[in-house]
Amino acid sequence: MAEVKREKFLSRRHLIFAAIGSAIGLGNVWRFPYMTYAYGGAAFLIPYIIGLIVLGIPWMILEFGMGHKMLKAAPGVFEGIGKKWEWAGWFPSISAFCIDTYYAVIMAWALVYVGSSVTLAWGAGEAGAAGASPYFFNTVLQLSSGPGVLGSIRWPVVAALAITWLAIFFIIFKGAELIGKVSQVVMCIAWVLIIVLVIRGVTLAGAGGGLNWYLAPDLSVLKGVDVWFAAFSQIAFTLSLGMGGMFTYGRFIAKKSDISNTALVTSLADASFAFLAGFAVFSTVGYITQALGIGISDVAISGLGLAFVTYPVGISMMPAAGSLTGVLFFLMMWMIGLSSAYFLAYAGFIVPFMDKFGWSRTKTAAGGCTICFLIGLVYCTQGGLYWLDMVDRTVCFYTLLIGGAIASIIIGWVYGAAKLRAHINETSEFKVGPWFDWLIKIVVPVGLLFVVIYGGFRTDIATPYEGYGSWANAIWILMAVVLALSFALQGIKGASSK
């Protein structure tokens, strides 16, 4: 326990870089641009900004503020509120652990693609355009017929996964100080890379058409409910909240540093990166559709399909510097993934375990990284993608949102939003008013539960997720497991008091 307690506070600059690094991740590239396109183009920015103000920023202030006040990670924060609430801190910690097991696998694919881009392994020119999808599904993943068929292990992916976990271990095993320094470097490179990719994209023929899809405003969508669901769910995901990690980062904020300002800067930097990434994505999509004479509905513009199929199509068709663009793109994906992955590992579950059991940092980090790597092997099988998808739905959607709602209710009503506000205002230049209490007590939990019920239960109960039939029950089983483990960890006594 003493080891984390002695850990230095981060300089304001390093903390901001670490927080921005955790927020900026794969979702900024493959989710935000697509949502903007699908929900009214530039008009989407209105609910997005409103969502940031009423939901995202207050929620981040809450996590930073409570970590800073209690000098603890999530389980310790909730234990400090009352022993019976400790599970509410383990719930997000275990979710963070679950996410990291597969998030690193997606990074491993990106790393494989850094190599594949050098030789344009899926083919050049139009042959490459046709070859990109089979290359991903049949060559890299060798995807099986369904979640019930795991098949064999894909060793190239395992090798990339091992490199990824080694990188994570070497960044976290010395603690917050090194994390801050590495985050600064990683983020600076990521920003340079995204700017280079935007320039490469917008100078391609047909880019204008793509950007028109991305941003042409359609204000009529604002009347519907869907756009609010989309904006709120993206905000919850992109700010890396609900994973417990920001409580831990909050504890590394120096005593006299600014909490509300840090939350504001982090959220704005995250949104700017996502907005910029949209230019790289949609200019490339515009180029592909023009060059191949196809429509936007013929290409994947979000998720894995965008990163590992559509973008490679663009790369193989680029008139110049295709390979280089590929290397830079996948390197950027790996790096923005990395700063989210070590956040999830260190702040998400390693510090909570060090706190609870008094284990040393090196041992906990080594053990945590090894276990995550071993669990990750499941996703490296031929049927791994199906499992990745289901676990993603469980933890990156349900437990993230439900955990956030529980946290804001307990902190807002049991601990007291006003008490938290008083602490924040003591340390922050930008003061939050009494409106903050109502955002924490009502708006944040209601907003998050709206997303869970409207975009989750309503659709998943009617049609099993992704049509995996009964396999989709795995979602509910997994959630129950996460919850049960949270209670179990709360129950393990003794070691915590050492």
Q: Which residues here bind ligand PHE, judged by CB under 6 A?
A: 23, 25-28, 99, 237-238, 240, 243, 340, 344
* 44 or 436: CB nearest ligand PHE: 44
Q: Burial, 305: exposed, middle or buried (Cβ in 10 Å; 0-12, 13-18, 19+)?
A: middle
Burial 161-194 (b: 16+ CB within 10 A, else e): beebbebbbebbbebbebbbbbbbebbeebbebb
Cβ contact 339:22 at 8 Å: yes
Q: Based on CB atoms, which residue is closest to ligand PHE, 28 or 260? A: 28
Q: Which of 58, 244 has the CB closer to ligand PHE?
A: 244
440-467 exposure pattern, b = at least 16 Cβ within 10 A, e = fewer:
bbebbbebbbbbbebbbeeebeeeebee
CB nearer ligand PHE, residue 417 or residue 451 = 451
Closer to ligand PHE by CB, 191 or 237: give it.
237
Q: Give the residue with the Cβ less far from ligand PHE, 120 or 406.
A: 406
Min dist CB 194 to ligand PHE, Å, is 13
User: Whole-number minimum distance, CB 431 to ligand PHE, in Å?
Assistant: 28
Residue indicated by tokens 């304001």: 12
Closest to ligand PHE by CB, 99 vs 432, is 99
Please, what is the minimum distance in Å from the beta carbon of residue 240 to ligand PHE? 4
Task: Give dist(CA 270, CA 477) in Å, integer.
Answer: 33
User: CA 37 → CA 30, 356, 361, 378, distances in Å?
Assistant: 12, 45, 44, 34
**Minimum distance, C-beta of residue 28 to ligand PHE, in the bound complex (Å):** 5
Cβ-proximal residues to 10 (8 Å cutoff; 6+ apart), any chain: 18, 176, 177, 180, 252, 253, 254
Q: What minimum distance in Å lies between the beta carbon of 295 and ligand PHE?
A: 28
Shortest Å distance, C-beta 311 to ligand PHE = 16
- What residue has token string 């991903």? 136
Q: State the burial class of residue 365 (Cβ atoms within 10 Å of its Cβ: 0-12, 13-18, 19+).
A: buried
Q: How far is the CB of 411 from ligand PHE (least distance, A)?
A: 19
Alpha carbon distance 241, 232 (integer Å): 12
Of 3 and 392, nearer to ligand PHE (C-beta) is 392
Nearer Cβ to ligand PHE (122/282): 282
Minimal CB distance residue for ligand PHE: 25
Closer residue to ligand PHE in complex, CB, 248/381: 248
Nearest CA among 251, 187, 249, 257 for reference residue 12 = 257
CB of 26 to ligand PHE, least distance (A): 4
Shortest Cβ distance from residue 146 to ligand PHE (Å)? 27
Interatomic CA distance for residues 232 and 362, integer angstroms: 37
Q: How far is the CB of 230 from ligand PHE (least distance, A)?
A: 15
